[in-house]
Amino acid sequence: MLLFLLGILVIAAGLAVSIALHEVGHLVPAKLFGVRVTQYMIGFGPTVFSRTRGETEYGLKAIPLGGYIRMIGMYPPHKGEPEGTIREDSTGLLQQITELSEEAKQYESSQYGPEDAHRTFVALPVPKKLVVMLGGPLMNLFISVVLMVVLVSGIGLPAVTPTVQSVSECVVPADAPADVSCEGQEPAPALAAGIRPGDTLRVIDGQEITRWSDVTTAVRAAQDRTVEVVVERGGETLQLEATMIVDARPVLDEDGAVVLDADGNLVTEQVGFLGVSGTPDLVPQSPAEVPEMAWSAFTQTGKLVITLPVRLWEVAQAAFGSAERDPNGPLGVVGVSRLAGEVASADEPGFELREKAGTMISMLASLNMALFVFNLIPLLPLDGGHVAGALLEGARRMLARLRGRPDPGPVDMSRMLPLTNAVAIVFILMTVLLLYADIVKPITLFP
């Protein structure tokens, strides 16, 4: 139980730091551009702790489901009472939107005086607005990539090493069952050569061995010749001789996976055979592997976000019906915490501290990638909504310049408040659904 709680605390702390740094990504450029930032808060709801430094209040709030910074002047300044701004023939909905917009702008304008008008967010040029609003998501992308570097080059990725895990007793067909008998058959070349489990293959037929793919390449190319095999055993280097045989072995693709034909049968080829298997382990890789990994995580997360309505419907069917929960579907805070607890407390063979640390780092990298992608959705109150507004503002101003017309000014995002509120309600309902599903129909790593 203690390990389970430790896993929850680790993932919670990692997520809290990620959220805090996300807001730093907004805070730093905003202050650099002279915007007055009145609050930097982690969480929502009642304030638990706060301290004011300069003109900014820094603090923690009771509901740890996000964070925010408050900048003055998010909307164009209020210019007096809205009389005359609403036509008599305006519809009720249009009138309500206009009144809500004017109230929001009036409240915003009351938070600062004329001397600070140049320090508002709305007064920033479009490029600086983009930098401020993209700073948070880009911080999460940076965190995700850094964690991937630690995972790839520090912890390592699952791979087969040249250390011998097992030695075949005889030569059996590639598609033979695991319990086939070797009685009356010739011993496999590796067994006859004296190779033992635990030996580390260093050289085969003059080719230096650094990874398992080198073993496969050297053995298959040897055909049926007698070749020198250098192994390391107990700190000593031994030179052995193995007489290979030619046998039908599975064709492997570029990733080392077996190739199947259209009917699902193994595709084989006649190549050299030694009769050893490598040891699975976490092997540190070059940081050059990270860009491809990050792109894969980005595209997979993007697909999840695009299909989110369908995925949430599937979650609802599982939570309120008999359908199974998709293990690759969306998770809430409770679900992520539960998985972290399972990882920390797992007592599975081969899943030791190093594997647990790698899994936790991978989870945090995935969470930060999700924060990056999710916040790019072009809907308020997400960062992507403000980015879309800034891009629209830039397009309007460019078009006005091309047409020789006056500057139309900033886009009035307060007009989007009804949609903003609707999106916020949807997010709250999504959070509640995932919370319920994670409790009644949780996803587990170790069933």
Could you give the residue numbers annotated as active site? 23
Q: Which residues contact 51 (CB under 8 A, 6 or more apart)?
A: 57, 58, 59
Nearest-angstrom CA–CA distance, 69 and 62: 16
Reduce the DSSP state of residue 314 to 3 states and report it.
Answer: helix
* Residue closest to 32 by CA, chosen among 112, 132, 133, 130: 132
The number of helices, as runs of H, and strands, as runs of E, in the chain is 11, 10
Nearest-angstrom CA–CA distance, 140 and 152: 18
Phi, psi of 160 (to 5 degrees): -95, 125
CB-based contact 328:307 (threshold 8 Å) = no
Nearest-angstrom CA–CA distance, 60 and 67: 9
Quote the tokens at residue 206: 């003059």
Q: HSE of 150 in the Cβ direction (CA atoms, 13 Å)? A: 16
The β-bridge partners of 442 are: none
Nearest-angstrom CA–CA distance, 388 and 382: 10
Q: Which residues contact 284 (CB under 8 A, 6 or more apart)?
A: 152, 153, 154, 155, 156
List of E strands, 138-185: 157-167
CA 30 centroid distance within chain: 26
Q: HSE of 220 in the Cβ direction (CA atoms, 13 Å)? A: 15
CA 362 centroid distance within chain: 8
Nearest-angstrom CA–CA distance, 440 and 321: 11
Q: DSSP letter for 377, please.
A: S
CB-based contact 215:201 (threshold 8 Å) = yes
Amino acid at 261: D
Q: HSE of 120 in the Cβ direction (CA atoms, 13 Å)? A: 22
